[in-house]
Amino acid sequence: MEQKTKITAEDGKQDLVITREFDLPLELLFKAYVEPEIVEQWMGTKVLKLESKKHGSYQFETTDAKGNVVFKGNGVIHEFSPDQKITRTFEMENAPFGVQLEVLVFEKLTDDTSRLNMHVIYESAVLRDQVLQLPFAQGINWAHNRLQEILNTLK
Amino acid sequence: MNLRRDVFQAIADPTRRAILLLVASQSLTAGAIASNFDTARPTVSKHLQILTECELLEQEQTGREIYYHINAKKMKEVADFIEPFRKMWDDRFNKLEAIMKKYKSKK
């Protein structure tokens, strides 16, 4: 199976790059990052707030079936250039991973395809590796599980 | 978890990565490995010791010689390290793509 999503994480560095080509026009790809109800669906988390503008902020929250909060994250948007670029911070609340800086560059490939380049910078190389190990160490992943639940209800 | 970190510290060094590449194709003695580097022999020995301690290399005694060969299982573990994270994003993006394709056709 072809791996559409690629991760570049060099040893000992405090950043990583996630790239993905989409079978979508650039405008639709960008829209998926802007509309809260769409973000909710693919990120598998509740979007409490999403102000897609310079100096705007956002808040995510995920609850389990019993209503317990299992994940809370937030950040601020530093740059918002429609169909081009979003620069934002992200912080997982009540977690020891610090704040990460995310630079998302959206690129048109053809009329029907586009590419996302996501550069994530962590506070240190150690923190980066801890975040990378997160889904690994926990054995489960909050977003993935939530996604699976949604997929199951759609079936 | 400590051992895991050691493995990543081990492969963070360029000389050690070069040693792994060298040994990947064939088992070699410490002398044969050292002859590929300008570095002093004791330095190479130290690298070999670290790689062996974190199980990326295995030693095998053949007659009087000790041959080093790669531990494929451990190497795979290192390669797999990033995979759950990649898979998480791949799943998200697949979902994004599916949602937006539907969104497009609805318009």
Question: pLDDT per residue over A80-97, tens digit each?
Answer: 999 999 999 999 998 888
Instruction: Check CB contact of B36 with chain A, cutoff 8 Å.
Output: no
Instruction: Check CB contact of B3 with chain A, cutoff 8 Å.
Output: no
Nearest CA in chain A to B89: A5
Instruction: Check CB contact of B105 with chain A, cutoff 8 Å.
Output: no
Q: Are strands B28-29 and A57-63 parallel, antiparallel or unpaired?
A: unpaired
User: Do A42 and B96 lie within an 8 Å CB cutoff?
Assistant: yes
Residue B25, token pair as written in the block: 């194709």
Return the DSSP state at B23: H
What pLDDT was estimated at residue B15?
85
ipTM over 0.90: no
List, as one string, the DSSP characters of A69-124: EEEEEEEEEEEEETTTEEEEEEEETTSTT-EEEEEEEEEE-SSS-EEEEEEEE-SS
For chains A and B, count residue pairs whose Cβ atoms are closer than 8 Å. 87
How far is residue B21 CA from its own chain's centroid? Answer: 9
Best of B88, B103, B105 to disrupt the A interface (most A CBs within 10 Å) is B88
Cβ-Cβ contacts under 8 Å, A29 against chain B: 96, 100
C-alpha closest to that of B51 among B96, B94, B8:
B8
Chain B nearest C-alpha distance from A32 (Å) = 7
- Predicted confidence (pLDDT) per residue in B48-106, tens digit: 999 999 888 999 999 999 999 988 777 777 767 788 788 889 999 999 999 999 987 76
Instruction: Check CB contact of B100 with chain A, cutoff 8 Å.
Output: yes
